[in-house]
Structure 1
Amino acid sequence: MARLERFSDLLLAENQAQNLISKPSEAALWQRHIADSAQLLEHVPRETIAGTAPGPWLDLGTGAGFPGLVIAAICPHLDVVLVESRPRRSAFLRDSVDNLGLRNCRVVGERLERVKPFKSWVISARAFAPLEKLLRLSAPFSTNRTLYLLPKGRSATHELNALKPSIRAMFHVERSLTDDEAGIITRA
């Protein structure tokens, strides 16, 4: 919890210099961003969280650190890779990782298309890209066992229904624990 409190302080300070989160959402940082990120752990098998994960957790378009940096802070034994192409944001993420002592977390400051593929245990993305594009770009990093955890807000069902039926059948929408109207797309 201390790491998350420190992270919230770092984020709010940096938010004065660059728009990491909207000003109105600063007051709801814990509910809107931190708890919203942490809830993804509810969809991961407990024995895997408690033990050794079969590969890294890949967070695409991490932005201000959601959800990937929050996951790394909560689960220091999980290998978490944050991909963020915007230089100022990736610099903030690197500084936060260093400041929080997160040896389990690394930041890749590149566009996903330029990152050398590796197989991921979990792929998460929050506000990264429309679902169809996200799945296409993340395919080189996934296996048939990769768990997708994609908070999509109120557009979750709509985005899922827009996929080809053969792709759509592999996923489903779980209700968000932090917003009754939001959904998380996950692999079925």
Structure 2
Amino acid sequence: MSDRFLKQLDLLGVQLEEEQQEQFFHFYELLVEWNKVMNLTGITDYEEVNEKHFVDSLALAKVMDLRRVDRIIDIGTGAGFPGIPLKIVFPHLEVVLLDSLRKRVHFLDEVIQKLGLQKISTLHGRAEDYARMPEYREKFDLCVSRAVANLAVLSEYCIPYVCVGGYFVSYKSGNIDEEIKQAGTSIRVLGGNLEAVEKFCLPQSEIERSFVKICKESSTKNKYPRKAGVPGKNPIL
């Protein structure tokens, strides 16, 4: 493994055992291999994948004690970020990866099988649909999303999955102050409370990252999320 990668993780308080290092390298190989035939990522350089996908995913450890989390869902996971890196480093987690593109879900299933990961599953479909199902609604200690979407929209996708007392953490970058302000109504209506916005640079880099940390204080009303497609077109503002 890259010494830089291991040093960056060490600065996050994350140390990898040999098997975990091998899993990350195998994940990288599968990502590059599948990326030749489908669009998974625009980043394929080894060091860049380590930093911009793996380290970035694991930066969550700066703001959440993941040892106290049992069940996590990753909404709009794409190529498995942040869900798979979190699962590799914190194997006790029960992880669900949700994505709307079937081909990406096939890739995720292959990664899970080849890396020998346990207690991790995939869902193909829309976040709005699964959030209304009893087996997923308010069943997770933590919901994460690294998806590129407005926070007001993401809140409606994600907060319904979180149990009361749990958290939704959105990975954001750049100037997000106005976006956070606009999402205030959505967060409150859905039962959440904006607890903190943690801004920092990834270790040994100039890459800016913000974590929007939302605590679920009350159950989400049954009418949310609205039917598929509506949150994106008509956010709660």
- What TM-score range do you get, normalising by the shorter chain? 0.7 to 0.9
What code does the residue aligned with 1:105 have?
A: I
Larger CA deviation: 103-112 vs 39-48: 39-48
Deviation (angstroms), 1:176:
3.6
Aligned residue number for residue 232 of structure 2: none
- What is the distance in 1 between the residues matched to 2:66 and 2:95? 17
- Residues 83 and 96 of structure 1, relative CA distance in 2, 3 Å threshold: same
Alignment of 1:12-161 (within 5 A): 12-23=32-43, 28-45=48-65, 47-48=67-68, 53=69, 55-115=70-130, 116=133, 117-118=136-137, 119-161=139-181
Aligned residue number for residue 183 of structure 1: 210
What code does the residue aligned with 2:49 have?
A: L
- Residues 148 and 26 of structure 1, relative CA distance in 2, 3 Å threshold: same
Is the CA contact (8 Å cut-off) linking 1:160 and 1:172 kept in structure 2?
no
Aligned residue number for residue 172 of structure 1: 196
- What is the distance in 1 between the residues matched to 2:141 and 2:117? 19
Is the CA contact (8 Å cut-off) linking 1:83 and 1:110 kept in structure 2?
yes
Instruction: Could you tell me which runs of 5 or more consecutive residues in structure 1 were left unpaired when the two chains were aligned.
Output: none
- What is the distance in 2 between the residues matched to 1:23 and 1:34? 12
Q: Which runs of 4+ in 1 moved over 4 A?
A: 23-27
Is the CA contact (8 Å cut-off) linking 2:194 and 2:212 kept in structure 1?
no
Match of 1:10 among 30, 34, 43: 30
Deviation (angstroms), 1:155:
4.2
What code does the residue aligned with 2:211 have?
A: I
What code does the residue aligned with 1:183 have?
A: S
- Residues 88 and 65 of structure 1, relative CA distance in 2, 3 Å threshold: same
- What is the distance in 1 between the residues matched to 2:58 and 2:171? 11
Higher strand share: 2
- Residues 154 and 89 of structure 1, relative CA distance in 2, 3 Å threshold: same
Q: CA RMSD in A?
A: 2.2
Is the CA contact (8 Å cut-off) linking 1:157 and 1:173 kept in structure 2?
no
- 3-state SS, counterpart of residue 64 of structure 1: coil
Is the CA contact (8 Å cut-off) linking 2:75 and 2:143 kept in structure 1?
yes
- What is the distance in 2 between the residues matched to 1:7 and 1:161? 37
Larger CA deviation: 90-99 vs 174-183: 174-183
- 3-state SS, counterpart of residue 182 of structure 1: strand
TM-score with structure 2 setting the length: 0.70
- 3-state SS, counterpart of residue 10 of structure 1: helix
Report which of the two structures shows the higher radius of gyration computed on alpha carbons: 2
- What is the distance in 2 between the residues matched to 1:73 and 1:147? 21
| Residues 119-152 of structure 1 deviation map (CA, whole Å, 9 limit, x = unaligned) | 1111100025311111112232113311222111
- What is the distance in 2 between the residues matched to 1:100 and 1:75? 14
TM-score with structure 1 setting the length: 0.86
Name the count of aligned residue pairs: 183
